[in-house]
Structure formats: structure tokens, C-alpha cells
Amino acid sequence: MRVACYSDEGSSLLRACRPARALATLAVLAALVAGCTASGSGDVDRTAATGGTLRVANANEYGDQDPHDYNGDWFIAPMVFETLVKYGQGGRLEPGLATSWQVAADGLTIDFELRTGVKFHDDTPFDEQAAKWNLDRWVGKESHSWLAASKIIKAVEVPGPMKLRLRLERAYDPLLQELTFTRPPGFMSPKAVDASGKFTKAIGTGPWRLEQITTTAASLVRNDGYWGAKPKIDRVEFSVRKDSQTRVSALRAGEVDMLGGSYLAPISPTEAVTLGKDERVTVLHGDPDITVMLGFNLNGIAGDKAIREAVRYALDRETLTKVLYAGQAKAATTLFAPGIPDAGAPQSLPFDPDQARRILDAAGWRQEGKGRVKDGKQLVLSLRIPSTAAVGWQDSRLSAQAVASALGEVGITVNIVAVDEATFYDDLHAGKYDLAFMETYGAPYDPSGFVVGFLTGDRKDPGLWKTDEVERLIDGALYARDAATRAKNYQDAWAVLNREAAFVPIAYRPRVWAVGPAVKGFQVPHTEYDFDLSTVTLQR
């Protein structure tokens, strides 16, 4: 492992960059992107020859690449399609297809100044009409209702040439952050659809144009007319290799040049260790910005607070993290990792099985044989896991067995229920579980993305913790018009979760990448959504 560095410089840039007052005008130069990254694969070789083809393994298949739908690939989309604003290091908003933006004092309108001289890959110019056409294509549509932006944007207006105005239902500061997601806020050529408005071809403004794509292979070529920093390499070829170990073998054997991320081609902790020992390969660790945790279903037996508290005390998260993640993650104590905006201060969560036993005894759960009983009811928690093979960091089978064994020590019987993927997600949705592993999204979604999905909403799924008290605090944070209010609301929410032992944080895990010997100048992307190859060169 030549390079493995964590960035501890707590990237609260989003908060820092966000002005204390209502008006926020940001015009940051695009050149900022290079240089301020936390980790990289060593020195960029300036003399390296440019050109060449980068071969990247991909774990998932490619569906339709319509940026306003969700079948496409997470990595190809941001290479082809761009957004008005981009998510920079630590959550800083950077200009994209908009050079600047202005949020009105009441927070109800946002004005964008669009970038001039930008053309789609089919030479259609990017202008205010094209921009409006794109937004109209998804804003307010039912299938995008998960995204607050889709519901909050009331109207898209064109106040003048190269100008775009969004009218909002109510003030919502995370909106700009939502607009950095590629799907659905990515922009495509209005000519990329047929007469009926159906998507035909992936034509964007990004640094790469899609050359060819099937469900299992894709090739992209450099967009020489790109407005920003042009990539140095000529082509990128993606090929789908579903099996994690096969991807590792392919990288070691030099068949592909790059793996990594949580979605592109996840590397498991064990594989990262193996790859680290291989001198042909360079392993890169990003910020540990994703929290792995155990969630409870409050509608079942885990509604009993004593049980939740006992589970918290019964898990030795330091050792678990070491064994499950091969020493590459950190034991977690909070909902969000320190680098995530508004993550809050570390909590004290000691490993104390005796305390767990005492709590259960006090709550009336008598030890009987190996398990515990209260009023004739057995203390059994059902832990749902998907039965499919481990994906990257989440080896549910292994983690489940470790948790079951640890909880067994204090008399909590864990019944591991392995179901296939379709049933698993259905069961999570229907609340058919007592315990389940959950993960935060990491950048750029968190904290707003995760809290909206797991702490609020009138859906029937249990989420992580949905009570009126927390929902009120979360709403207070989401719609806060200043950073202090937001921070206060978030911290209060975290305090409630902590008081209620609402979940059990286990580890903060990094996104891990690995590159072959030819790849120079690659940096771990800021987000799972941003595959910036502008600094990469190949040396074969």
C-alpha cells in the first residue's frame, strides 16, 4: 500500500462557505478544483505523454442513460452530463453550467447566470431555452418526488438571455446542494429525444462524449470542445465485471487500470489489503465519510429502549471495526462522519457487556439458559440481510454473524434472516425486521439526503427513527435560513437520537480506490457522483 491517507481536516467547508446572512453569491473559479484534494496517487508526472485509453471495471450494468431517469450508470452520467452547480471538496459549491447564482433574501427565488459558449456534444448550443427544457422535463414529476427540489421548485423562468430563474414554494437552502446531483438535475441536448419526448441518446456538455454503450460495456471519448479543464487521456472504456474478486484479479493482471468507489467497482476491506500487498497496484483511501450502523424497527420488540441500549453496550465497535474492515475504517460514535456538514461532536459509547446485562435485567428480561425472557416472551431480534454476495464494504453475512455472536453474549438472541435482494428491500420497506444494517450516503447527499430518507416522512417504512420530535427538528434544520439555526436543530436531533439509543453506529468507512501501474495523477473523487479524470495521465 503505497499511499493511504485519511483526511482529518474536517471538511466543514460547506458551512464555512455558506454566508451567515440570507444572500449568498458565489463565484468561484473552476481552477480551484485541482490542488485542494485530500489524497492523490503521488506526484503528477508532468512530462507524461497524454492520450491513451483508460480501462475501468464496473460492477453494475448500464441501463438507459437518460439523465432524468435512474437506469443509467452512476459514473458515466457525470462524465457526460453536467449540472448548474458542482459539489467541491468538503461540500463547497462550485460553478458548473452556471457561472454564478444568487438566492433572494426571502429564499423564494434563485437566479442563475448561465455559462456562455458551451455546446452539447451534438453542437446544439447550451442556452436558457435548453436549460429550461431540461428542468421542465423532471421538475414536479412524480417519479422524482424523493428529491425535495422536484417538489419545491414551483416554476422555471427565463428572465433574459443566458439567465435562468427558479421560483420556490418555500425557502430551502439544501436545494443548491441537490442541484449538484447528476440525476435528475443533469443537462442533456434537447435533440437527444425523439418526437414523443422519449430519450434516444446520451448527449451532454461534459468532458466526455459517449461513443458506444451496451448493458455491459461502454466507451467514452474526450470532448475536445469542452469548456473546462480537458482530460489528458483520449478514451475511457468501461466493462462490467460483477464479481468483486474477479475485478481484483483483473486489476492485478493488468486487464483494467482502475477500480473503486462505493458504486463503480467496490473494493472490500480484505481485497484492499490484498491489493496493497501487490506492488503493481496503488491503493487510495478517501475520507471515511460513510457511517455503517445498525438500525432498529421501533414497531417491533426493539421499541423497548432497554434492548436498544443493551445492544449499544454489547458491541465492541473498536474490535468489530478492526476485524470486519481490516483496520481501514474507524469506530463510529455519531450518525455522520466528522467530515460531513453538521456532523456534531463525538459521543461516548463504551463497550460494556456487563452494563448491557444490567440494563436488560433491570428491564425485566430475565436470563434463561442462553437467552432472555420477559413475561413469557423470548428476547429474539430478527436481523434481515440480503443473501447475495458481499458488495464492497458491506459483507452483511459476516457482519451479521459477528453482531449475533456479540449480542448472544449478553443473552440477546439474534435470528439472522438471509433473503434475496428483492425480498430484502421489500422487507425493509414493509418493516419486516428488528435489526438491519444501514449506511449513510456520504457526500454529496449528507446530511440532508439521509435525514430526509431515514428520519422523516409519512411512509410506512420504519426508516431509522421517525418521531414527531425528531421530524420537527430535522425540518427546522432543512428549512433553516441561517447556519446557526440549522446547526442547532441538527445537534438537538442528534441529541434525541442519542438519548433514545435510536441506532448503533459501528464504523466510518472510506471510499477506496485502486489503480494500476500506468495510471498517474488520479485523485479520489470528492463524491460518489463525480468522476473527474482531468488530472489523470497514462504511462504504459
Partner 1 sequence: MNGLLVRWTRRSARLAAELALVLGITSLLAFGLIALAPGDAATRLAQQRAGHPGVTEDQVASARRELGMEGSIPERYVRWLGHAVQGDLGKSARTGRPVLTELAERVPVTLSLAGLAAVVALPLGMLVGALAVMLPWRPARRGLRLTGLLAVSLPTFWVSYLLVVVLTEQLGLLPTSADGGLAGYVMPVVVLALPAVGLLSRVVAVSLREALAQPYVRAAQARGTPTVSIVVRDALPNVAGAVLNTIGLIVGGMLTGALVVETVFAHNGIGDYFVQAVNFRDLMAIQACVLCFALAFTATNRLADRLHGRIDPRVSSG
Partner 2 sequence: MTASGAGRRRRTVICALPLLGFVMAGALAPVIAPYDPIANDLMASLARPSMEHLLGTDQLGRDQLSRLLYGAQASLILAAAVLAVSVTVGVVIGAAGGFLGGWPDRVALWLMDVTLTLPSLIVALAILGVRGHGSANLVLALSLTGWPPFARLARGRFVSLRRSAYFDALQVLGASRFRILFQHALPALAAPVLVYASIEIGFIVLSLAFLSFLGLGIPPPEPEWGQMLIDARPYLDSALWLALPPGLAIAAVVLASNLLAEQFATDNLPLVRLGMPRRRARMNGSTAGPYRVEELAVAFAGRKVVDGIDYRVAPGRALAIVGESGSGKTLSTLAPLGLIDATARVSGRAVLGQVDLLGGGPAIQEAVRGRRVGVVLQDARGALNPVRTVGALLDDAVRHAGVVPRGRERARSLELLKMVGLPEPESQVSAYPHTLSGGMCQRVMIALALAGEPEILIADEPTSALDVTTQAQIHALLADLRESIGMGLILISHDIAAAARIADDIAVCYAGRIVEVGPAADVVSRPDHPYTRGLLDAVPSPKAVPGTRFRTLPPAEPARRKVSACAFAPRCAHATKRCHVEEPPLQPVTPGHTSACWVRPTVARPIGYDGA
State the residues that interact with partner 1 by CB under 8 A: 55, 61-64, 66, 69-71, 142-146, 214-216, 239-243, 245-247, 249-250, 252-255, 388, 419-423, 425-429, 441, 445, 449-450, 453-454, 457-461, 463
Of the pair 126, 441, the CB lying nearest partner 1 is at: 441
Of the pair 45, 420, the CB lying nearest partner 2 is at: 420
Q: Taking the complex as a whole, how short is the minimal distance between the CB of residue 394 and partner 1, in angstroms? A: 14
- Is 519 a residue that touches partner 2 (CB under 8 A)? no
How far from 57 is each of 48, 187, 370, 519, CA to CA, in Å? 23, 26, 47, 14
Q: Which amino acid is it at 409?
A: E
- Is 44 a residue that touches partner 2 (CB under 8 A)? no
Concatenate the DSSP letters of all residues of 36-49 into one string: --S--SS---TT--
Instruction: Figure out which of the listed residues 5, 418, 496, 518 binds partner 2, where binding follows CB under 8 A.
Output: 418
Of the pair 243, 354, the CB lying nearest partner 1 is at: 243
By a kind-dependent CB cut-off of 5 to 8 A, residue 63 interacts, out of partner 1, partner 2, none, with partner 1
Instruction: Figure out which of the listed residues 5, 24, 363, 398 binds partner 2, where binding follows CB under 8 A.
Output: 398
Of the pair 156, 315, the CB lying nearest partner 2 is at: 315
Residue that has been written with the C-alpha cell 473527474 in this structure: 532
- Is 388 a residue that touches partner 2 (CB under 8 A)? yes
Concatenate the DSSP letters of all residues of 74-134 into one string: TTHHHHH-B-SEEE-GGG-EEESSEEEEEE-TTSSEEEEEEPTT-B-TTS-B--HHHHHHH
Record the cell numbers describing residue 98, joined without a space: 452556471
Q: Which of 206, 85, 90, 88 is nearest to 149 (CA)?
A: 85
Residue that has been written with the C-alpha cell 491503493 in this structure: 283
Please provide the distance, in angstroms rounded to a whole number, between the alpha carbons at the two ends of the chain: 21
Instruction: Figure out which of the listed residues 419, 487, 496, 518 binds partner 2, where binding follows CB under 8 A.
Output: 419
Of the pair 414, 538, the CB lying nearest partner 2 is at: 414
- In sequence order, the β-bridge partners of residue 85 are 95
Q: Taking the complex as a whole, how short is the minimal distance between the CB of residue 243 and partner 1, in angstroms? A: 5
Q: Taking the complex as a whole, how short is the minimal distance between the CB of residue 357 and partner 2, in angstroms? A: 18
Neighbours of 364 (CB within 10 A): 12
By a kind-dependent CB cut-off of 5 to 8 A, residue 246 interacts, out of partner 2, partner 1, none, with partner 1
- Is 229 a residue that touches partner 2 (CB under 8 A)? no
**Number of C-alpha atoms within 13 angstroms, CB side, residue 361?**
8
- In sequence order, the β-bridge partners of residue 86 are 94
Whether 394 and 292 have beta carbons less than 8 Å apart is answered as: yes
Q: Taking the complex as a whole, how short is the minimal distance between the CB of residue 104 and partner 2, in angstroms? A: 52
User: Radius of gyration (Cα) for the chain, nearest Å?
Assistant: 24
By a kind-dependent CB cut-off of 5 to 8 A, residue 458 interacts, out of partner 1, partner 2, none, with partner 1
By a kind-dependent CB cut-off of 5 to 8 A, residue 271 interacts, out of partner 2, partner 1, none, with partner 2
Whether 247 and 256 have beta carbons less than 8 Å apart is answered as: yes
Q: Taking the complex as a whole, how short is the minimal distance between the CB of residue 95 and partner 2, in angstroms? A: 43
By a kind-dependent CB cut-off of 5 to 8 A, residue 334 interacts, out of partner 2, partner 1, none, with none
Cα–Cα distance, 511 to 329 (Å, whole number) = 10
- Is 289 a residue that touches partner 2 (CB under 8 A)? no
Cα–Cα distance, 24 to 41 (Å, whole number) = 35
Of the pair 397, 488, the CB lying nearest partner 2 is at: 397
- Is 280 a residue that touches partner 2 (CB under 8 A)? no
Cα–Cα distance, 268 to 310 (Å, whole number) = 30
Of the pair 422, 484, the CB lying nearest partner 1 is at: 422
Record the cell numbers describing residue 362, joined without a space: 433491570
- Residue 257 CB partners (closer than 8 Å, separation 6+): 54, 55, 56, 251, 515, 516, 518, 519, 538
Q: Taking the complex as a whole, how short is the minimal distance between the CB of residue 462 and partner 1, in angstroms? A: 8
Of the pair 237, 255, the CB lying nearest partner 2 is at: 255
Which string of x and - marks every residue 172-201 that binds partner 2 (by CB under 8 A)?
Answer: ------------------------------
The site for partner 2 (CB under 8 A) is made up of 245, 268, 270-271, 274, 277, 316, 319-320, 322-324, 385-389, 397-398, 400-402, 404-406, 416-420, 423
